[in-house]
Amino acid sequence: MLALVSEGCTNREIGRRLFISPATVKTHMEHILTKLGATTRAQAVLLAHEDGLLPVRDGLVPVTADRSAPSR
């Protein structure tokens, strides 16, 4: 799911691609944000990249997140 978020997909688009409802996507995203300690989808993608949960694609290297932020 985070791979699709990293591609810029909306909840509706993710739901269509995974054959689940947008509401289910929203629930899963809330759980992902909580587990990663992220407050936004973009931050979740960044943290997932840093933790090795998402591969770096197309030779792009994500900017490092501020791990001292209280949300993590």
Higher pLDDT, 21 or 72: 21
Q: What is the pTM of this model?
A: 0.75
Q: How many angstroms separate the first and last alpha carbons of the chain?
A: 20
- Which domains are seen in the chain, by residue range? 2-50 (1.10.10.10)
Please state, in angstroms and rounded to a whole number, the distance separating the CA atoms of residues 2 and 25: 11
CA pair distance 40, 61, nearest whole angstrom: 19
Residue pLDDT, tens place only, 11-54: 999 999 999 999 999 999 999 999 999 999 999 999 998 888 88
Triad 28, 33, 37: Cα angle to 5°: 150
Q: Is 52 helix (H, G, I), strand (E, B) or coil?
A: coil
Among all chains, which residue has been given the structure tokens 């992902």? 32
